[in-house]
Amino acid sequence: MAFTSRSTTRSPSSCAWWRARSSTWPSTFVPAVPTFGKWEGVVLSAENHRQFFIPRGFAHGFYVMSETAVFCYKCDDTYHPGDEGGLMWNDPAIGIDWPLVEGVELNLSEKDTQHPSFDEWRSEKGL
């Protein structure tokens, strides 16, 4: 099991996480389930001490809501760059209600600006 700690800036230590409610890939992807393409989210903070389990194969992302944040996560396998993928962070088909901080500019990585929409991703996967 891999353990990673990451420090990031912009968002006193709180992050909003989201995950898809149904598994994405590889073989556990089931588009017929009612939660396919749906999302759920939670705010994690130093004050609420919550954790958020993201099962293998679930799409997930986060938004830092405080000036700085440190978060840790465990993985059940080593990192495989070829397994990476993503979805457009603001895809209206998924409709994630990000708790964006008013007046703060988003700081997306170049990689995160290039992800396909949910519909494009489904088309690529033949779903």
pLDDT of residue 120: 93
Instruction: Put the strands of the sheet holding 60-64 in their side by side order.
Output: 39-45, 14-20, 60-64
Predicted local distance difference test score (pLDDT) of residue 30? 55
What is the tens place of the pLDDT at every residue in 58-98?
Answer: 788 888 888 877 777 777 888 788 878 888 989 998 888 88
For position 86, which CATH number holds? 2.60.120.10
Determine phi and psi for 39, rounding to 5 degrees.
-140, 165
Give the domain extent around 91.
2-125
- Report the C-alpha gap between 59 and 22 in whole angstroms: 9
Structure confidence at residue 4 (pLDDT)? 37
pTM of this prediction exceeds 0.75: no
Cα dist from 1 to 26, 74, 77, 89, 126, whole Å: 20, 7, 6, 28, 32
pLDDT recorded at residue 16: 53
Residue with tokens 């556990």: 28
- Work out how many domains the chain is built from and give that number: 1
Task: Look at residue 116 in the predicted model and tell me its pLDDT.
Answer: 92
pLDDT score for 117: 92
